[in-house]
């Protein structure tokens, strides 16, 4: 275990899980932990090929002003332990919860594959996960996802020059790509992202996800966020989660899968307003996003 203090009072630490070091970040300062508007700490779980920095570089500091925020960086398990499983990733999240926020209820936020992990953790740890936010998540991989995953796999194996463009094409919505170009804003995220061996095993795991048996037992007050133009985890997956989790409400953001880059401020808004009063919207509600 290690702990280092970074700028802005954020602590970076590691803990050992299944023989590997798992890194986490902790904003430490417990705003609104008590008093009339008490809030549970937020715990952020990133998606495939991501990290706290890549997926929550915007959200972490902006949400940290409102309550304590902790984020986990997934670590590749030791290869001798066999293929990467969902349970590996769940154990990493639970270990960080136990080490950093022992005995504290939390609001767990998962994005993409992180939403799958978060949903599973929530189902198995109802005492800890009081509130749950699932952004562009899913519960059972379908034929549409398998097809996209297969093309990705093929391009990767062939070391194709087209892989970067293919990933950008899948990740971003058409309107965002067009608008970014018009605004002359070629954000670094649009340039090719380099997959590595850990990405490969996560992509493999993505092909076999099925937590449909677990999801109906989630007791947390849940917000499901779908992305209108998502081509990687199309919004019908979010609708399926919404339908299967008893205390769930649903809202949609006009973006592609890369919502953390396309609409980060809207994501902050929606998560912040949910954590402020998780049950404001009733279970089963489809909540329209506010028009500016």
Partner 1 sequence: MNPSTEPQHPGTADVEVVIIGTGFGGLAMGAQLKRHGRESFVLLERADDVAGTWRDNTYPGAACDVPSHLYSFSFRPNPEWSRFFSPGPEILQYLRDTAHAEGLLPHIRFGTNVEDARWDAAAQRWTVTTSQGVFTGRFLVTATGHLSDEALPPIKGLDGFTGDVFHSARWNHEVPLEGKRIGVIGSGATAVQLVPELAKTASELVVFQRSAQYVTPRPDRAYTESEKQLFRRDPDAMADHRSEIFWFLESRYAERRAVPDILDKARSQALNHLERQVKDPELRARLTPDYELGCKRVLISDTYYPALTRDNVTLEASALDHVEGSKAISRDGNTYELDVLVFCTGFETAEPPYARLVHDANGISLSDHWAQGMEAFASTTVAGFPNLFIINGPNTGLGHNSIVYIIEAQVDYILGALDWSRANGNHVLDVSARAQERYVDELQQRSDGTVWLSNGCKSWYIDPRSGRLTLIWPNFAHEFRYRNGTFDSAPYTAAETSAAR
Q: Give, in order, the Cα–Cα distances in Å from 221 to each of 40, 41, 274, 286.
A: 13, 15, 10, 14
Q: Which helix (H) or strand (E) holds 130?
A: strand 129-135
Nearest residue (CB) to partner 1, 159 versus 291: 291
Nearest-approach distance from CB 47 to partner 1, in angstroms: 19
Nearest-approach distance from CB 103 to partner 1, in angstroms: 29
Nearest residue (CB) to partner 1, 149 versus 269: 269
CB 279 within 8 A of CB 249: no
Nearest-approach distance from CB 206 to partner 1, in angstroms: 28
Nearest-approach distance from CB 17 to partner 1, in angstroms: 28
Nearest residue (CB) to partner 1, 31 versus 140: 31
Nearest residue (CB) to partner 1, 206 versus 255: 255
Tally of CB atoms within 10 A around 19: 10
Summarize as ranges the residues that interact with partner 1 (CB under 8 A): 7-8, 57-58, 61-62, 65, 175, 179, 182-184, 254, 263-266, 268-269, 272-273, 290-292
Distance, CA of 179 to CA of 198 (rounded, Å): 32
Q: Is 184 left (phi over 0), alpha (psi -120 to 50) or beta?
A: left
Nearest-approach distance from CB 73 to partner 1, in angstroms: 16
223 forms bridges with which residues in the sheet? 133, 249
How would you label 157-180 residue by residue, b for 16+ Cβ within 10 Å and e otherwise? eeeeeebbebbbebbbbeebbeeb
Nearest residue (CB) to partner 1, 147 versus 179: 179
Nearest residue (CB) to partner 1, 56 versus 152: 56
Nearest-approach distance from CB 184 to partner 1, in angstroms: 6
């Amino acid at each position: 275990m290690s702990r280092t203090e970074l700028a802005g009072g954020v602590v970076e630490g590691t803990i050992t899980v299944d023989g590997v070091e798992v890194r986490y970040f902790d904003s430490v300062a417990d705003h609104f932990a008590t008093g009339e508007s008490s809030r549970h700490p937020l715990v952020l779980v990133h998606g495939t090929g991501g990290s706290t920095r890549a997926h929550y570089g915007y959200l972490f500091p902006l949400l940290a002003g409102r309550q304590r925020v902790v984020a986990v960086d997934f670590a590749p398990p030791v290869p001798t332990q066999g293929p990467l499983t969902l349970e590996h990733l769940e154990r990493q999240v639970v270990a960080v919860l136990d080490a950093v926020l022992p005995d504290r209820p939390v609001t767990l936020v998962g994005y993409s594959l992180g939403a799958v992990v978060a949903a599973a953790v929530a189902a198995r740890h109802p005492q800890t996960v009081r509130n749950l936010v699932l952004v562009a998540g899913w519960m059972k991989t379908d034929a549409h996802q398998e097809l996209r995953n297969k093309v990705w796999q093929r391009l990767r194996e062939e070391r194709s020059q087209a892989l970067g463009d293919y990933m950008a094409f899948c990740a971003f919505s058409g309107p965002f790509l067009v608008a970014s170009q018009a605004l002359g804003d070629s954000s670094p995220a649009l340039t090719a992202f380099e997959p590595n061996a850990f990405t490969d095993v996560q992509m493999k795991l993505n092909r076999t996800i099925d937590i449909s048996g677990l999801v109906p037992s989630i007791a947390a007050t849940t917000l499901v966020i779908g992305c209108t133009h998502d081509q990687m985890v199309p919004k019908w997956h979010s609708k399926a989660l919404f339908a299967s989790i008893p205390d769930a409400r649903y809202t949609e953001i006009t973006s592609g899968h890369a919502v953390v880059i396309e609409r980060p401020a809207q994501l902050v808004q929606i998560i912040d307003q949910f954590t402020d009063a998780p049950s404001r919207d009733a279970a089963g509600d489809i909540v329209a996003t506010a028009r500016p």
